[in-house]
Structure 1
Amino acid sequence: MMQSQQYNSAANANPTQRYMIGVDVGGTKIEAVLLDDAAQVLAIARVPARRGADLVVEDIATLARTVGADHWDDVAQVGIGIPGQVDWKTGQVGHVVNLDIVELDLADQVSAQLGGIPVHVENDVNAAAVGAAAVLHEDEEAIAFLNLGTGLAVGLINNGRIMHGASGSAGEIGHIPIDPNRFECPCGQRGCLETVCSGSAVAQLWPTDDGRPPMPDLIARARAGEPAAQRVLAKVKHALGDAVQIVAQAVDPNTIIVGGGMARTGQPLLDAMSEELSARAANCAFLESLQLPARLKLAPADEPTGAIGAALAARV
């Protein structure tokens, strides 16, 4: 597990050890890190994301060479975390909408660009789960990473290994159609959880005119007694409570790490989620016994957790 973060300190590393590179591919930026055997971050680099399969492959390879330059001959593997449909066994990805990728043999193409170095590809939420657990020194038997980003999904770790499921879709709770508002979802269903409690959903339910993130503004104005904000926050909190209960009662993790863009709201978000869970538990001895608010923990906001997790996932 990760011990510390030592940025740009590769010159102090042990020359006999092997190194890992992790790359986090997002819709707006691509970020890469170099890790040593102890999972310390030795170098970090990022570039704006460019759309198109060839450009994504080129940018990943360029960043990998950049962070691994001082130790290239000792790089053991490269891990990549990317959104969309990911076959972690073959390294093929598909339907990465924000990057105009329909289908791509990502692992083989990046490996070819890097001279044959082994490349492992993970779904970005799974990679973030591994990285957040490492940065937070969470080594319990079962950990869940609740990603409140553009969509809603969960990364699940059991005994140090990612739970992929039979088709690789384990943790895709955002498209469970149980929300009573019955909003239409791009997936074709109605009432999917991510139509209410994802970052993009909150931005639609509570748009801000000045470019501020909607969730902090929504919570602050609801706390100030604004009726419209209170109504919207009640919807969001209800869906968040459903998401936590689904995760907790399906896989019973020791810790539920809350991450993604909406998690940058910080403690006010955790407080809102805890209020909802406590209110539910007030009338249910079973829920009270689960102590769900105590399991919640914020993901580190300023660490390259996605890239770190991509590197560590390649190792296991």
Structure 2
Amino acid sequence: MAASTPHPEADTDNVQARPISLGIDIGGTKIEGVAMDGDKHLLACHRIPTREGNQAVHDDTVTLIHHLLDPVGPNRGSVTVGLGIPGRVDANRGIVDDAVNLGIRHMALGPAVAKTTGLPVRVENDVNIAALGAASQAGDSLMAPGTTPHSEAARKQARRSASVPGRDGPRALPDHDDHVVVFINLGTGLAAGIIRWGRIEHGASGAIGEIGHIPVDAHQFPCKCGQHGCLETVASGSAVEALWPGIAHPLPDLIAQASQGNQRAQEVQDIIGHGIALAVQIVALTIDPGVIILGGGMSRTGQPLLDLVTEHLNRSAACSHFIASLNLPDRLRLAPADLPIAAIGAALAGRMATDSRPSDFIGKEIAS
């Protein structure tokens, strides 16, 4: 287990009884956490491998909380915890169902961690916290079309934006007019997180943003949900792996092969590019956000992914004045690859819950 390390921008010497927000992103292969102060400086980062099962997830989460608090020291104010986890999450009760990759069928994660640590805990779906974390960077470090996300300038910008103080209140958005931000998670599956006025939208049942299971694709590939033609079957990491198999990092290879004239690669690239562009259009036409962020594992492809999606959006715009009028490529951003945006979003979600109303904070009664 790696030692907990302060973030490069950490300022632990000057922390004087400030509130501390812990954010933990529980993923299928790793659990990553951050500690932030009241000015949203990153104080510490830590990650450990994921183990499956209710007890293992509980124990590892508690261990990570202690690791994150160690470098902060005893001179701190109130501590809040935000957790992000895959599966169906009842955020108001801290309950997780069907986190299949973690071996969790049903778990009262929030109350369990709160009881063990004595800290108030907020639990959110992993895509939602990634959306919140990405939205918090939307005015600073997100990559627009034509920008190289791994450039030195981009890295400096990302680090700077993570430690700029002065963003007040519980809002997670920067101080500009993009009050609705959508994060499209291009991971193993496809889903969207919606941030409105700096807060996560949940919908009536928690299914908001599950755009991957809209059956709109003409290829009618079977989906694990039981339907055919779901958008996820042509616009996700698993879709690329299925259509371009046998490659460790299939999307960069697919794009490279297509650019070299490989006809099959060009066919698959068109399917994937059209699918992601369709996801962008669905988000734009149903939610109309000012900023649309592409994140998840596929986003690490960087500028070539943005170029591919922009090309397909431009194709649609070329035959539709209405679509052209939406200026969709101008709304696209690429999530920064060098910031733990999901853990940052979890920390923000935990702090925002206690800043709004006590019932939002799972375990507050247990901790008192």
Q: TM-score, normalised by structure 1?
A: 0.95
Q: Does 1:207 align with 2:207?
A: no
Q: Does 1:223 align with 2:259?
A: yes
CA distance in structure 1 between the partners assigned to 2:191 and 2:12 by the alignment:
38
CA distance in structure 1 between the partners assigned to 2:52 and 2:78 by the alignment:
27
Name the counterpart of 1:186.
224
> How far off is 1:238 after superposition?
1.4
Name the counterpart of 2:40.
39
Q: Does 1:52 align with 2:53?
A: yes
- Output the amino acid matched with 2:123: V
Q: Could you tell me which of 81, 94, 119 is aligned with 1:91? A: 94
CA distance in structure 1 between the partners assigned to 2:299 and 2:246 by the alignment:
18
Name the counterpart of 1:103.
106
Any idea what SS the aligned residue of 1:220 has? helix
Deviation string, structure 1 residues 230-272 (Cα, Å, up to 9, x no partner): 1111111111121001100001000101000000000000000
Name the counterpart of 1:62.
63
Name the counterpart of 1:310.
346
Residues 7 and 45 of structure 2 are in contact (CA less than 8 Å); yes or no, is this contact kept in structure 1? no
Runs of 4+ in 1 over 2 A off after TM superposition: 5-14, 69-76, 135-139
Name the counterpart of 1:141.
179
> How far off is 1:7 after superposition?
3.5
Residues 174 and 194 of structure 1 are in contact (CA less than 8 Å); yes or no, is this contact kept in structure 2? yes
CA distance in structure 2 between the partners assigned to 1:142 and 1:260 by the alignment:
19
Q: How many residues are aligned here?
A: 309
Q: Does 1:77 align with 2:115?
A: no
Which residues of 2 match residues 277-288 of structure 1 at below 5 A? 277-288=313-324
Residues 68 and 75 of structure 1 are in contact (CA less than 8 Å); yes or no, is this contact kept in structure 2? no
Name the counterpart of 2:155.
none
CA RMSD of aligned residues (A): 1.4
Q: Could you tell me which of 81, 99, 124 is aligned with 1:122? A: 124
CA distance in structure 2 between the partners assigned to 1:154 and 1:195 by the alignment:
15
Deviation string, structure 1 residues 18-57 (Cα, Å, up to 9, x no partner): 1100000000000111000011110011000000010001
> How far off is 1:11 after superposition?
2.4
Any idea what SS the aligned residue of 1:135 has? coil
Question: Greater CA deviation, 25-34 or 14-23?
Answer: 14-23
Question: Greater CA deviation, 265-274 or 199-208?
Answer: 199-208
Any idea what SS the aligned residue of 1:20 has? strand
Residues 28 and 49 of structure 1 are in contact (CA less than 8 Å); yes or no, is this contact kept in structure 2? yes
- Output the amino acid matched with 2:113: V
Any idea what SS the aligned residue of 2:191 has? strand
CA distance in structure 1 between the partners assigned to 2:78 and 2:296 by the alignment:
29
> How far off is 1:283 after superposition?
1.1
Deviation string, structure 1 residues 149-188 (Cα, Å, up to 9, x no partner): 0110000001111111011111010000111110111111
Q: 1:7 to 1:64 in 2, by over 3 A?
A: farther
CA distance in structure 2 between the partners assigned to 1:47 and 1:282 by the alignment:
48
Any idea what SS the aligned residue of 2:136 has? helix
Any idea what SS the aligned residue of 1:93 has? strand
Any idea what SS the aligned residue of 1:274 has? helix
- Percentage identity across paired residues of the two chains: 50
- Output the amino acid matched with 2:96: V
Name the counterpart of 2:233.
195
Q: 1:278 to 1:18 in 2, by over 3 A?
A: same
> How far off is 1:10 after superposition?
4.9
Name the counterpart of 2:329.
293
- Output the amino acid matched with 2:292: I
- Output the amino acid matched with 2:267: R
- Output the amino acid matched with 1:94: D
> How far off is 1:201 after superposition?
1.2
Any idea what SS the aligned residue of 2:34 has? strand
Deviation string, structure 1 residues 285-304 (Cα, Å, up to 9, x no partner): 11011000111110010111
> How far off is 1:6 after superposition?
4.5
CA distance in structure 2 between the partners assigned to 1:40 and 1:179 by the alignment:
43
Name the counterpart of 1:112.
115
- Output the amino acid matched with 1:283: C
Deviation string, structure 1 residues 191-244 (Cα, Å, up to 9, x no partner): 1111111111111111134x2x11111111111111000111111111112100
CA distance in structure 2 between the partners assigned to 1:84 and 1:152 by the alignment:
13
CA distance in structure 2 between the partners assigned to 1:181 and 1:228 by the alignment:
16
Name the counterpart of 2:192.
154
CA distance in structure 1 between the partners assigned to 2:7 and 2:25 by the alignment:
18
Name the counterpart of 1:167.
205
Name the counterpart of 1:267.
303
Name the counterpart of 1:253.
289
